[in-house]
Amino acid sequence: MGVAMLVAACGQSGQPTPTASGGAAASATTAATTRGAGGDLKILYWQAPTILNAHQATGTKDADASRLVLEPLASFGKDGLPIANGLASEIPTPANGGVSKDFKTVTWKLRSGVKWSDGTPFKASDVAFTFKYQCDKATAASTSTYCEGVDSVVAKDDTTVVVTYKDSQPFYYQWGVGGGNLILQEAQYKSCVGAAAKNCPADQKPIGTGPYKVDTFKPGDTVTYVMNENFRDPKKPYFKSVTFKGGGDAQGAARAAFQTGEADYAWNLQVDATILKPMASSSTLANLVTVYGSSVERILVNFADPSPSLGDKRGEPDTKHPFFSDKAVRRALAMATDRNTVASRFYGDGLIGKPTCNILTAPEPMNSKASASFDVCKFDLAAANKELDGAGWVKGADGVRAKGGVRLELTYQTTVNAIRQNTQNVMKQNWESVGFKVNLKSVDAAVFFTNTSPDGANHFWADVEMYTNSGDPDPTSYYNNGWSCSQVAAKANNWQSGNYARYCNKDFDAIIAQLRTETDQNKRNELATKANDLLIQDVAVIPIVNRTFATSAVAKSLKGVDPSPWDSEMYNIADWSK
Amino acid sequence: MGRYIVRRLLIAIPTLFAISFIMYAILALAPIDPLSSFGADPRVPPEVREAIRHSLGLDEPWPVRYMKWVTGMLQGNFGFSFLSHSPVIDLIWQRLPNTLAVVGVAYIVGLVIALPVGMVSAVKRNSIADHIFSTGAYFGFSVPTFFTGLVLIIVFSVKLHWLPFVYNSNLKVEDVGSLAEQLRQSIMPIAVLGLFDAAVFTRYIRAEMLEHLPLDYVRTARAKGLLERLVIIRHVLRNSLIPVVTLVALGIPSVFGGAIVTEQIFHVPGIGELLVRSIFLGDTPVVTAVLMIFAVLVVLFNLLADVLYGVLDPRIRYA
């Protein structure tokens, strides 16, 4: 019902109007629960949490394990809009006056009477303190990106917090909402701000306002929680305790949930669809729960020259790729990309992924409908051949096309992963049939995502590379980091900037600049779609598969699990019951 | 003997320093990064990564980091984990009991099985029992533990639902019920590792016994009219065990090192699992601490094996 209301409201004003009493739908299904009526809830993550403060997290596992204890002001719901299941009593919007007309100040009303799990009262000053902690440069919080552009967070009174942005901020929920903005207790963390944040013992056992509190924590192994008697909803949580076990591998986690029932919830089952599908469908114990969001497996096309003969100039943005600088070659590569086969064979035909030609797939109003008819989005080997013929790339005796001494020989790198190696093989076969020569390369994921490694995604010393990335409910930083001229990765910035492909296009940058200042939601949707279509038609990137954001096994007896692609899978754990 | 031990211990000091330096250098130069688990996550932009790196002290040149680490180590400070921000030594202490409960027990089980089996195999050479035991040992020796582990899981956990395969490290053994639970959860990993160890030891014991059985002193013992049982146990076995004891002593450090694959399959949070995970996630303080402890154990147990050899075999004297 909450969702239906939301859609209607959006249709009328064009502005996002989140549900005022969010989580209404969820609480309706679990209204009958009694606190502590359930036994132990068993959660299994094949990556074990190592720290319980999301601001110091080094991965989803840590942020998720924190979420049982710590809460944000509000959570991001399925459509990317906030729901008031956190510390705020209602969601501020331009319509209710919570967001100022210039989109600079956001006034959050907090719930009154909320207590920390140690029994002390929660105050607006804790929220202001969290900002101080999170946004102090020396704290080195991994969530500090949410501080960007935030001028101040001030407690007006005990239940009112005002977030002020430096400039007009169309994404006014940036600070305070979702898994990156969990509120810490000032009393516990006041001596852990700045450089003192490192090795702070509170990170092992944070005091929170969430439904559970930490009982024991063995980093890299198991967290046990017990219910928080001071939780604001007297009927929740349902489970007396939670065991959050880490370790093993994805397939073992799937087995524990689907086949032996040793886990009620098994996280992120990155298992080959051919194994996962029969396991899930034959299970009497658990269901596979997934949700689609903005995670897109994509192929990046290098615009700089990665050849080792360049020495110090290798991959620098002022070099030009020998053949990808020719748009016809990029177009042909895109036309010879068979995303449907990959999606149906390796992603289980919608089980854990579906084909897409959009680099921005969510929120839904920003998901381009036009791209389906683009010629570069259609798998057509004849058209690819024609494109290359037309551009003067002629097939040699070995079947590889060349022009002016430049051969279409490329290196295609990705991480070591069964699905990805299968995908590489499909691509290689098709690309070689139109006259490319494809050399495959796979790198261990830990090395691939290291900024110091020459085999890393960011150095991109290859011609094409493949991995998955995703964005926030607002796409501005996703677009800006990925493809704007200012973010081109180069030696000068230690290969740390996000535009690994070294794509640079003034038209694209202009759209992003507009996206920064545009406040009308309909126009924002148009701009976001336009940016997507530009990248696709210019073949700056080749999207392949929209991957499920959450891919978890959930015991059939477990109720209330409803993952959102924009927030932690644990965002509504207070509502879970059996 | 005393002087010999002191001399060996003194030699061990530069050896350990050399090990620590080489190990640190390799880790510093390897492309591992504690921030790699962020992947290409745009929510953690370059500036943030740089700030985190700075807070971990990773922006200093590695020889400087090495000196700091060695200084801390000499004072008994193993440092803090990059990922959990908790003292490394705490992590190791948390995991040691699990490793000993599984890998240690398996080692003992392996020995207990191997002794009688190896003996029978040797004494009744070429009998049906010997053929069965030898084939079994060969099998246990050649089949990898990840395979036997998976087979056990599929049979006893998935098909029969008798045993759990997700190890609960928080289980406290306080009464009969919890002891039974501990047995239930550790019997599969212990079986996998124990059978492997048993296979290795059986082959050694059998070979040693066979070497001793035709020797003159055995014939003399028999000629004296001793019972065959006494000949085997008092004379042949005792002498055959000398090299086996050193082998067992040399194998003990690897017990502390954990069993990487088996721990992973059965979700046992042991030292091996900690080491491998820390390597993959770039948590170098943990890696260096575990490897250093391992190096010390290897050096110590090498010494112990040599000393034991001397004690058991009076013909060997150390000057």
Instruction: Tell me the nearest-neighbour CA distance from A177 into chain B, angstroms.
Output: 14
SS (H, E, C) A464-526: EEEEEECCCCCCHHHHHHHHCHHHECCHHHCCCCCECCCCCCHHHHHHHHHHHHCCCHHHHHH
Q: Are A463 and A302 in contact (CB under 8 A)?
A: yes
Q: The pTM is what?
A: 0.87
ipTM of the assembly?
A: 0.86
Q: Which of B49, B62, B85 best tests the A interface by mutation, with the highest count of A CBs <10 A?
A: B85
Q: Round the CA-based radius of gyration of chain A to a whole number and report it.
A: 25
- Which residues of chain B lie closer than 8 angstroms to A443, CB-CB? none
Q: Is the dihedral of CA A282, A288, A292, A294 positive or negative?
A: negative
- Predicted confidence at residue B220, as pLDDT, reads 92
pLDDT of residue A25: 41
pLDDT tens-digit readout, A563-574? 999 999 999 999
Residues of B in contact with A221 (CB under 8 A): 94-95, 169, 269
Please name the residue of chain B whose CA is at the shortest distance from the CA of residue A219: B84
What number of C-beta contacts closer than 8 Å exist between A and B? 188
Chain B CA closest to residue A481: B42
Which residues of A, range 330-389, sit inside 8 Å of B by Cβ?
A: none
**Which of B206, B201, B203 has its CA nearest to residue B245?**
B201
C-beta atoms of B265 and A218 within 8 A: no
What are the average pLDDT values for consecutive 10-residue runs of chain B, which has 319 residues? Answer: 85 92 90 74 75 84 91 89 91 92 94 93 92 91 90 93 92 91 94 92 92 91 90 89 87 85 90 89 90 92 86 74
Q: Please say if the pLDDT value at position A29 is more than 70.
A: no
Count CA atoms closer than 13 A to B20's CA, side-chain side.
23
- When scoring A142, A268, A359 by the number of chain B Cβ atoms within 10 A, the one with the most, hence best to mutate, is A142
pLDDT at A330: 97
pLDDT for the residue numbered A12: 34
In b/e form, how buried is each residue of B245-266, taking b as 16+ CB within 10 angstroms? ebbbbebbbbbbbbbbbbbbbb
Query: Within the 137-176 window of chain A, which residues sit less than 8 Å (CB to CB) from chain B?
Result: 137-146
Output DSSP code: residue B231: I
In the stretch 87-116 of chain B, residues with CB closer than 8 A to chain A read 91, 94-95
Q: What is the C-alpha separation between A127 and B37, in angstroms, rounded? A: 28
Cβ-defined contact of A58 to B264 (cutoff 8 Å): no
And the tokens for B117?
């089996």
pLDDT of residue A287: 96
Please provide the average confidence, as pLDDT, over all residues in chain A.
Answer: 91
pLDDT in tens, A211-226: 999 999 999 999 999 9
pLDDT confidence of A274, banded at 50, 70, 90?
confident
Flag if A256 and B168 touch (Cβ within 8 Å).
Answer: no
The answer to whether the CB atoms of B269 and A451 lie below 8 A apart is no
Query: pLDDT band for position A27 (50/70/90)?
Result: very low
Task: Please indicate whether, in this complex, the C-beta atoms of A477 and B42 are within 8 angstroms of each other.
Answer: yes
On whether any CB of chain A is under 8 Å from the CB of B125, the answer is no
Query: How close does chain A come to B112, measured CA to CA in Å?
Result: 30
* CA–CA dist B16, B7 (Å, integer): 15
User: Given this model, what pLDDT does residue A16 score?
Assistant: 42
- From the CA of A384, how many Å to the nearest CA of chain B? 30
CB–CB of B78/B89 below 8 Å? yes
Query: What pLDDT, on a 0 to 100 scale, did the predictor assign at position B305?
Result: 87
Q: Which of A314, A252, A202, A150 is nearest to B266 (CA)?
A: A252
Specify the pLDDT at position A449.
Answer: 80
Among chain B residues, the shortest Cα distance to A250 is held by B265
Give the residue among A58, A23, A63, A83 at the shortest CA–CA distance from A449: A58
CB contact under 8 A, A260 and B52: no
Q: Taking CB atoms and an 8 Å cutoff, what residues of chain B touch A262?
A: 157, 164-166
pLDDT range class, residue A78, cuts 50, 70, 90: very high
Contact call for A467 and B44, based on CB within 8 A: no
Quick one: pLDDT at residue A452? 74
B114: Cα separation from own chain's centroid: 18
B269: nearest CB among A203, A220, A498: A220
Confidence of residue A58 (pLDDT cuts 50, 70, 90): confident
For residues A163-183, give the mean pLDDT. Answer: 93
CB-CB under 8 Å, A496 with B168: no
Q: Give the pLDDT of residue A2.
A: 32
Residue of B nearest to A47 (CA): B277
User: pLDDT (tens digit, 9 = 90+) per residue, A106-159?
Assistant: 999 999 999 999 999 999 999 999 999 999 999 989 899 899 899 999 999 999
For A516, other C-beta atoms within 10 Å of its C-beta total 16
Mean pLDDT of A265-278: 91
DSSP state of A19: -
Q: How far is CA B282 from the centre of its chain?
A: 23
Distance CA A10, CA B76 (A): 62
Strands A437-443 and A409-415: what pairing? parallel
Q: Which pLDDT score, from 0 to 100, does residue A433 have?
A: 96
Q: Which residue of A has its CA nearest to B266?
A: A248
pLDDT over threshold 70, residue A177? yes
